[in-house]
Amino acid sequence: MSPNLSGRVALVTGGSRGIGAAIALALGAAGAAVAVNYRQRAEEALSVAAAITAIGLKSIAVAADVSDVAAVAKMLATVTEQVGPIDILVNNAGIALIRGLDDLTERDFDQTIAVNLKSAFLCTQAALPHMRAQAWGRIVNISSGAARGAGGVGLHYNASKAGLEGLTRGYAARLVQHGITVNAVAPSLIETDMLRSGLATSPSRIPLGRFGTPDEVAQVVLMLIGNAYMTGQTVALSGGLSFN
């Protein structure tokens, strides 16, 4: 049920590994040209872009701190020049600084909000003019089950992801008349480096009995991109751990 994205250009922020890499590869497999954003992991981002190029599609790795407005503007200019104007934006960049209530600092809080929430605002604002002009666009924000639950990372992470879902609804309501849909995916306990860093050691509390995979998150992202009637929604992906 993958959409045909031939002729479309996608940007995936934080696309060098884990969920972001799986989404970038899935977009390429669906026919889109893909810009793979990264901040530090150049080699991994280049590998993702090379895999997409190998199937005959345009793809580049583009470095940018997406929490910085000047860096976002430069990134959009590079993508537009080398690949094309952005039709599909996946705001996936994020950090998960595991902190207890008494260990959390102001710097941790500010950095988490900047990377997990502000970056989605900056990238969306930068991509909107082209989407509006062609009366078509798809924006998918990668949230987390922590937006509605306690989670294991910390309250700063909860706040950033809850804010991202509010941002999703706010944009969706204002952009629907322009042919642009805005949705979110909220994965819980996906088998990535974040999970392996100590967030969870066993899937025993997941009713399905296992951790989720990045590819399963990518499947939901493609479903949202392909569905023109769905907007302003958050799709939970938790193996039965929680329900909307």
Q: What is the number of domains present in the chain?
A: 1
Q: Two tokens at 78? A: 């590079």
According to the model, what pLDDT value does residue 110 have?
A: 98
Handedness of CA 185, 190, 193, 198 (dihedral sign): positive
The C-alpha atoms of residue 143 and residue 92 are separated, in whole angstroms, by 8
According to the model, what pLDDT value does residue 243 have?
A: 78
Provide DSSP, 62-126.
EE--TTSHHHHHHHHHHHHHHT-S-SEEEE---------TTT--HHHHHHHHIIIIIHHHHHHHH
Is 2 within the bounds of a domain? no
The C-alpha atoms of residue 237 and residue 129 are separated, in whole angstroms, by 31
HSE of 155, CA atoms in CB hemisphere, 13 A: 7
Residue 78: pLDDT over 80 = yes
Which is higher by pLDDT, 150 or 94?
A: 94
- Give the global pTM: 0.95
DSSP state of 199: I
Q: Which helix (H) or strand (E) holds 214?
A: helix 214-226
Is 23 within the bounds of a domain? yes
Is 178 within the bounds of a domain? yes
According to the model, what pLDDT value does residue 195 have?
A: 62
Q: For the chain, what percent of residues have pLDDT higher than 70?
A: 96
Which is higher by pLDDT, 70 or 149?
A: 70
The per-residue pLDDT for range 100-141, each reduced to its tens digit, is: 999 999 999 999 999 999 999 999 999 999 999 999 999 999
Handedness of CA 39, 40, 45, 46 (dihedral sign): positive
Is 4 within the bounds of a domain? no
According to the model, what pLDDT value does residue 15 have?
A: 97
The per-residue pLDDT for range 8-44, each reduced to its tens digit, is: 999 999 999 999 999 999 999 999 999 999 999 999 9
For the segment 71-100, the average pLDDT, to the nearest whole number, is: 97
According to the model, what pLDDT value does residue 10 have?
A: 98
Closest C-alpha to 10, from 1, 19, 43, 29: 29
Is 75 within the bounds of a domain? yes
The per-residue pLDDT for range 34-77, each reduced to its tens digit, is: 999 999 999 999 999 999 999 999 999 999 999 999 999 999 99
171 is an active site residue: no
DSSP state of 177: G
Range of 122's domain?
A: 9-237
Q: Two tokens at 13? A: 């922020």
Residue 43 DSSP SS3: helix
Closest C-alpha to 120, from 166, 87, 158: 166
Residue-averaged pLDDT of the chain: 94
The per-residue pLDDT for range 178-228, each reduced to its tens digit, is: 999 999 999 988 887 766 666 666 777 888 888 889 999 999 999 999 999
As a 3-state breakdown, the chain gives helix, strand, coil percent values, each rounded to 5, of 45, 15, 35
Is 243 within the bounds of a domain? no
The CATH number of the domain holding residue 55 is 3.40.50.720
Closest C-alpha to 128, from 179, 82, 93: 179
Q: Two tokens at 159? A: 């706040």
Residue among 38, 157, 171, 229 flagged as catalytic = 157
In Å, how far from its chain's centre is CA 227? 17
